[in-house]
Structure 1
């Protein structure tokens, strides 16, 4: 059987499995006994690009084997600490978004392409930290800022998504906000005002930590992973494409509650 490697973001871990992404996503989200539910986000990882000194790959070969009845090994944890920074960006071959009933949407990596808009941004960080912030920086600039080791507060690498701000992106006082599903819109407006009032402050924390499930329908353009050396984008399909080609996943994603 083929052995796959996955980098989970919730929680952060490197996991080996004999299940392909669709099956692993369903297993990781729902469980084998169907008694638990929870969203999952994980990357497929190219083993050939890993440094054997960072991960116990010999242990993987020894322990990730089929059961005596021939059934596949579902999961084998290889690392749970500072995993993201040890996996090269080029080793991340796909990002899988899993709803709490086990539906999987797979996104492919691509070069980051700025949209050219001058506007505020709302970012949800996923790994290795989980604040939600507003920023005047585009995804590439935000990545460079948050991974700058010359700054007192930084991380070696970051995974985050850009969330929609609706009409607030250009007008913090907009009355029509397209039913944005975020808690405490007044606080979000205040954060955007503070950001606009101080050009020397590139970010402002809105929430210190993500506390509930991801509302996939609020993802504006996609997910990003990057460090001081660069950024890789995992672009979300358009709503039309989601409805036409990924309807089961999209319907499940829309059933999630607010966060």
Structure 2
């Protein structure tokens, strides 16, 4: 039986499993006696591109084995500390987003192409830090900025998503917020106003850490993993494709309101 390796972002962990992505997402989201129910964000990892010096890979297949009653091994934790920075970006073969009822959307990496819009961006960082940020920078620029070693405050690699700002992306004072589901819209407007008045300011913190689950329906154009060498992009399907081809996942994502 195949042994899969996954990189979970929330919480950060490298996990071996006998479950394929859809089944692992169901297990990881629905939970067990050891884990409460909640959404999951994880990557499939090509373990042939991992270093045996960083992770205990030599005996994975002998440790990740079926239970005595034949049930597949659901999870074997390989590492829980500073995992993202030690997994090469090229080892991330797919992104999986599991809703809190266990429905999984799988997204493959594509070359990042800036949309060319001059607008504000709203980023939710997932790992290794979790602030919510507004920025002038597009995803590739933001990843390079936050991982730049010359900066006093930086991380070696960052995983994050761009969230929708609706009508606020160009006008912080727009009267129609189009049902944006974020807490404290007034504070978000203030941050966007401050950013718009400081064109040389790269970013402004909206929330210091995640206070609830990220609503998948608010992800604007995908999830990104970036470092000084570049960016890996995992763009979500278009709204039309979500409604037509991934309807079950999309309906589940729309029905989630966070905690």
Q: How does 1:109-148 map to 2 (within 5 A)?
A: 109-148=109-148
Bigger Cα displacement from structure 2, 237-246 vs 15-24: 237-246
Bigger Cα displacement from structure 2, 208-217 vs 135-144: 208-217
Could you tell me whether the CA contact under 8 Å between 1:4 and 1:19 is conserved in 2? Answer: yes
Q: Which runs of 5+ in 2 are unaligned?
A: none
CA distance in 1, matches of 2:86, 2:59: 18
Secondary structure of the equivalent of 1:110?
A: coil
Could you tell me whether the CA contact under 8 Å between 1:181 and 1:258 is conserved in 2? Answer: no
- The aligned residue for residue 81 of structure 2 is 81
- TM-score, L = length of structure 2: 0.97
The structure-2 alpha-carbon separation of the partners of 1:258 and 1:2, relative to structure 1 and needing over 3 Å to count, comes to: closer
CA distance in 2, matches of 1:57, 1:176: 52
CA distance in 2, matches of 1:43, 1:127: 13
- The aligned residue for residue 105 of structure 2 is 105
Could you tell me whether the CA contact under 8 Å between 1:182 and 1:258 is conserved in 2? Answer: no
- The aligned residue for residue 243 of structure 1 is 243
CA distance in 2, matches of 1:68, 1:198: 62
1:27 corresponds to 2:15: no
Q: Deviations over 1:185-236 (max 9, x none)?
A: 1111110111111122100000011111111111111111010000011001
CA distance in 1, matches of 2:36, 2:175: 40
Moved over 3 A (4+): 32-36
Bigger Cα displacement from structure 2, 63-72 vs 123-132: 63-72
CA distance in 2, matches of 1:200, 1:116: 18
Cα distance, 1:32 vs structure 2: 4.7
CA distance in 2, matches of 1:245, 1:230: 31
When the two chains are superposed, the root-mean-square deviation of aligned CA atoms in Å is: 1.4
Secondary structure of the equivalent of 1:142?
A: helix
- The aligned residue for residue 234 of structure 1 is 234
CA distance in 2, matches of 1:3, 1:67: 14
Q: How does 1:150-165 map to 2 (within 5 A)?
A: 150-165=150-165
- The aligned residue for residue 13 of structure 1 is 13
Secondary structure of the equivalent of 1:249?
A: helix
Q: Which runs of 5+ in 1 are unaligned?
A: none
CA distance in 1, matches of 2:118, 2:71: 53
CA distance in 1, matches of 2:22, 2:185: 36
- TM-score, L = length of structure 1: 0.97
Report how many residues are paired.
Answer: 259
The structure-2 alpha-carbon separation of the partners of 1:35 and 1:57, relative to structure 1 and needing over 3 Å to count, comes to: closer
